[in-house]
Structure 1
Amino acid sequence: MEGESNDYDYGGYLFSDKATLSTKPIVVEAPAGKIIKKLEWLDKSTGQVLRLLSGFTPGKSKYTSADGLKDTLSGTKLKVTSRNNSNYGGVYYWDRWSVGSAANWYGEHWRAGGGRVSKTDSIGCDDNVPTETFGGKALPRYPGCTDPYLEADIPRSQAFYINDPTDPLNDLWIKDGAISVTDVTVANVVVDDSTEIPDVHGTTGTSDPSTVGGQVANVESINKITIYFQQTFNNDTYHRDWSSPGAKQVWYFSKFYADFNSFTYRYKDKVLRATFADGVSGLEITGNTCVAPGGTTQLTATLTKVDGSIWPLKKHDKLTWTSSAPSIMTVNDSGLVSSVATSGTATITAHFVDQAQTLNEQDTFDMTVGTGCTCIDYGGDNPGNENPEQPGGSGQCTWIIGTPTQSSLMRQSDMEPDANGVIRADNRDSEKFDVLQGIPTSESLYINATSDNYLFKQEWAKMSGKTTYNCTVQVKYSRTWTVPGPPRCSETGCVPGPPVQKADTQSKTYTFQMYRDYSYWMINNLEVYVINRAEMSNYALPHEKVTMTPTGYTPPSLDSTHNEAVNNHVNPANTRAITYTPPILRGGLNQPPAIPNDTDLLKSMAESNTDQSKVNNDMVNFNGTTIMSPNVTLKDGPTPTNIPNPTKISRDVLYKANNMISNTLLNKANTIGTGTIFYELLPNNVNGGADVQFPINGINTVTVHTPTVNYSNASDDKEHN
């Protein structure tokens, strides 16, 4: 085969990273005076016939490399797994510049410190993060962004092994060169949150708690695989303040363990066997040379093809029979001769013409109307001959869909709303009072909260399995052989007759199995939560609690279909009818031929007559975008994407003004503010939970302080001075 240098042999098998391999040009030459009748692949270890060589045409005396006769062989696809690979650990840096840097927003936003990121700055992320003050300016303490497309290079340090418990070579080590680079996937990604990772400042740290592993991003080589991962930069656990006012750096560590899956393709040793024939075609009439007056006798026209096969014919749509003297004797389209006169001679002609096979063969046979033992019709070539029936076979396959297993998972979630809130004096952006210092009764407050516009959890499962085809083919074999024939007698005496042909049919039932792989994606879990309301509580608020309902808020839409039953996802193809006409089997004197074993040939025909299964995924449509497509495909369902990460709501969504402070309230300093945001679960969830609520962070205190004026008055009490 035309493999590659990194393919290799082991135990009678060739392992390759290619699903198909082409043979080198096949060179074969027939012996002198012969032609090539058949080229077929044999199993090297068992000698069983696997199938005929594709593209071969019988009748040539030789094939050279210039003829370009090649065949394409398909390998057996085997899953391989490399377990527990780990990277050295990585660090992503963010920088906030000083309050004097006009080119860097005067420190009001952060810049990502380079590397493979999808978020390059914190604009739009840092509106509601805690602040710290430098030079009279409130600067965001950390970036606050979520980046789902960070990248981590994971050197593959562990070997690939066959991962198929049903295969006899399960757990066999496979060399790197035989691993398909294009089929690499990642599974069982685990965040290492205990190993200390060095940074550029000479210190160390561990993976950020927000770190979540993702799918394969790039495969540079089978030894260097890059995966996506996600982090939310919402802390400054690891940071350094620079000397310039407001300048600061924060960084976030990550380290992973991961399994990698791919495929190798196994090719079994095969031998190409050539069968030769004489290379000539012809037609020969056999039968009695005499027909009795008023009698009949049967003739047979035996056709020999260039491939050496022999076909005894009586009636055939390409065969014509004629008589040179129809007034003496006639012959019908089945080769049956009937006498018309009581004496005389005629020449019977058989003519076989088939343009498609380039056959044009003819023979003549002289016959006489007479009497005697030679004019008795024995029904064949010679007295007592038996002619074989036409062989044939047919069959069909029925299928059973095997139970699938989860071969990989896609998980993604964001169930932290990052909710923040404030209570301040009306009107927003032009507050008359600083509520931290004090606000009188009979004044009004506004409350304001921000959070993610939705929350979600997803788990997509890739379901993989096999469809088993149980096939049954009934084949009728036609056999011929010879036995000693009766003597030939005439008026002058008897002489030994030639051997007589015997014929019979033998039926054989073949049963075998074949398989078709399938895979599709199914929803294990789907939950999307939208904002229902928010509440804030404080001593200064009316009745100490105010509820905000969303205004100008458009919740996301969710549509899904889910079905657990594999029959709703996999539609196996029906095997087209299997038809097979074996050659007539020929034996020797007193030696009926043995019935061959055509299992491999019939299985190859069934494989060719069976298409791949049609499959379809569950369906997920989020905000008008197809996340998991239910479209019908062959063999493997399309890989879904992830639900996108949420964004922050605008500050007007959860906002309520004119909350009057009751004039009956006593002065009270630093009253605590608390809050809760409520999310409700959307319909069309799959295996979802219930409505959820979260605390609103960062709510400030309020001091109620109403000034008191004391008008004092004392009478003049002279008498007691």
Structure 2
Amino acid sequence: MSYSLFERKSAVNRGVGYPPDPFYYDRHTIDYDQIADIDGMLKPGFPVTVTKPETKDEPSEDIRIGYGTFANAGAVSIRFWYPIKIDYYAFGEITPPPSITPTPTTPASSVTDDTSKQIDSSMEPDADCVIKADERGNEMFDVEQGIPVRENLYVNANVREYLFDVSYTEHSHSETEQVKVKKTWNLKWQEDHGHSKTEYCGSGTSYHTSGSYCTDSDGDGVNDSCPGHAYKGCRDTNGDGINDSCPGHKVWVPKWVEKTDTVVIYSDFYDVTRSYSYWTVDHFEAFIPESVTVSNNALPGGSIKIPAPGINTPNISLSHRENTNEHVLNNPLSDAKTDGTLKYDSNAACYVVEVSDGYLDGGKTKPSVPGITNPGPIIENRIPQYQAKNDLLEFNGLTILEDKVSNTGDTKDPEKIPKATVCGDNTFFKNNLTIPDNILNGIHNSSGKICYKRVTETVNPVYDSEISYEIPSINSVTVHTPVVCHASIIDDKENDQTLNPDDSRITIVLGRPSKIALYTVGSHLDIPGYNDTPGGSMDCRKYTAKRQVLFPFDVYAGTDKSDPSCFVKK
């Protein structure tokens, strides 16, 4: 390329031609880095070959390219030689064309909810009852074999001290979110934005040294001095041993520029799962015995009702909450999104946990950014667990269901309520129950029931406030009232005035007092209480209502005349 040149030292900026191409052998061309600005001003310190019209070299500081050459395309001519070589020079940041990044798909959260039931129940009283003869532990009669009227019975029942029925529900929830860790790296390094330039060897005077002198100063035929030789450049073009030219040398002028960059990296997806489970008391009832009723014809009035004054009501503490918010005290994933621990990142199309920025100085090279290889611990430490608690159920000092807050989200399972013990022998006991006189001999069957009443602490009760249970297998009572009558008449034989008395018969003399004996003592059934007295007999006087004698003739009491007022009815 040829430029129109002007002499800057000329008042009129006289134009000169410029044939710069290397095709013209050793002519001095203008390189790109020798141009100072867009106005065509040249940097000083190098020769430029011009034509005036003769070809000669001028210092660059005396020459400028034609006014507006670059701005107005002021080159006068362009010459081409084959092969063509064209160099382009440019400085500046190269911005690559934006690449089309596919929009990432936001992963869906996974949520599961579940419930399960658990029942604990002891609603059978396991009741038993006996009817026996007084005294307890020293029973004289076996009531199932026989017992007379006017003897005493006792009733003794045993039942569970309390009944209970409880059901629980476990509420479970699990939520999983796919999360990434995000880290921003701030990078720092240096880049060489220098440029190349052509340097030319300088000029001066060179001298031959001893042994290579070039001048014989005293005419003795021996060179003994050197007057000095002017040189310019680094090349001897005419073979006289003196450098008289320099083609120019390419050198690089460094210019280190501070560079910075910001790089954002993401880890792989990590599934962070948060779950909770808590228990509620969905139904609870407890009952204590109130009374026992036993029926048997041998009992006074046909039945007996025994209250239960000695049964203690269980000590129950109960707290039931319907609202989930009263059991689940936080929402880790939702809270993390609210407070900024989890942030939605549109570039990653997911929620991310941001860690503190990193800083890397690569010196003369742009540093490489390390990846995030283990995001799990980072995410787990940032997002807390659920806090949950159960309903409360305490029974007789035992914690059945604990309502302490669990910081892991997993509450304690309910314990078993202890089954009640059987009440003491004196709780449902009644003695001195006399068999009435009007009870006929025979087997009298028994029946009974136990009545329980509900305590005040309940949740969603399903039973009536009072419930009754039949008492099975109460023994029967056999009433057998013994009667013994051994009659005898006092023999008045010594006052017998008959001519031929009959010694085989008892004599009763008219007009004299007569005595009749009716004895109630004698042997009876061979069962306990009837025939086990000393002598193997029993006295039935207690059980004998009347003693009667039937005479085959009229009898008057207290007189020896036929006085109607003294007549003894037959």
TM-score, structure 2 length as denominator?
0.44
Higher share in strand:
1
Which structure ranks higher in relative contact order (CA pairs < 8 Å, sequence separation ≥ 6)? 2
Larger Rg: 1 or 2?
2
